[in-house]
Structure 1
Amino acid sequence: MRQINFVVFFIVALALVLFALENTSPASIQIIPQLKVAAPISVELILAMGLGAVLAWIFSVWSGLQKSIEMRNKNVQIQNLQETVQNLSVEIEERKRLVSASAIDVEIDEDKSKN
């Protein structure tokens, strides 16, 4: 995978260098009404691509952070549900024991009343 990443990076860098060599004519960019910048088209393109890459990276970090928070909330919810299931299992076992104990008492009372 590292080799593929290197090849892709190398091809993009080579394309940028070739583009920069071919496009040296200046172009002006008006950033705000009072600020106008003149630079070669290649430099402007490289800066725009860099800004786009930084924005994509920020979005990726933000998305990853949201996913990790969501996973942490889901893990807490799963843990709470597991505790609830465990408590209900204990309660069911206790009720079964009480029901079986009361059934034994009923049988004993029936045996005494028959005698």
Structure 2
Amino acid sequence: MRQLNFVVIFVVALALVLFALENTAAAPIQIIPQIKVAAPISVELILAMGLGAVLAWIFSVWSGLQKSIEMRNQNMQIQNLKETVENLTVEIEERKRLVSASAIDVEIDEDKSKN
């Protein structure tokens, strides 16, 4: 996989170099109404691509943070539900024990009344 990444990066870099060699004509860029900059078209394109890459990286980091926060919230909900299930299981077992104890008392009372 590393070799494939290297080949892709090399091809993109070579294409950028060839593009830069062919497009050396200056073109004006108006950043804000008072500021104008003249730079070769290739430099402008490379800067625009770099800005796009930085914005994509920031978006990726932001998405990752949102996903990790969501996962943390889900894990907390899962933990709370597990605790609720454990508490309900204990309560059910206690009620079963009480019901079986009262059933034994009823059987004992029936046996005493027969005698």
Once residues 44 and 28 of structure 2 are traced to their aligned partners in structure 1, the CA distance between those partners, rounded to angstroms, is 9
- 1:28 match: 28
Q: 1:60 Cα deviation (Å)?
A: 0.2
- Alignment map for 1:37-76 (pairs within 5 Å): 37-76=37-76
Q: 2:2 is matched with which residue?
A: 2
TM-score by length of 2: 0.98
Q: Distance in 1 between matches of 2:62 and 2:13?
A: 27
Q: RMSD value over aligned CA atoms?
A: 0.6
**Which whole-Å deviations, capped at 9, do the CAs of 1:2-55 have from their partners, x for residues lacking one?**
111111111111000000000000100111000001000000000000000000
Question: 1:98: how far off?
Answer: 0.4
Counterparts of 1:96 and 1:2, CA distance in 2: 62
Which 4+ residue blocks in structure 1 deviate beyond 6 angstroms?
Answer: none
How far is 1:103 from its partner? 0.1
Q: Which runs of 5+ in 1 are unaligned?
A: none
Q: CA–CA distance in 1 between the matches of 2:70 and 2:78? A: 12
Number of equivalenced pairs = 115
Letter in 1 for 2:12: V
Q: TM-score, normalised by structure 1?
A: 0.98
Partner of 1:24: helix, strand, or coil? coil
**Correspondence 1:87 to 2:70:** no
CA distance in structure 1 between the aligned counterparts of 2:80 and 2:5, rounded to whole angstroms: 43
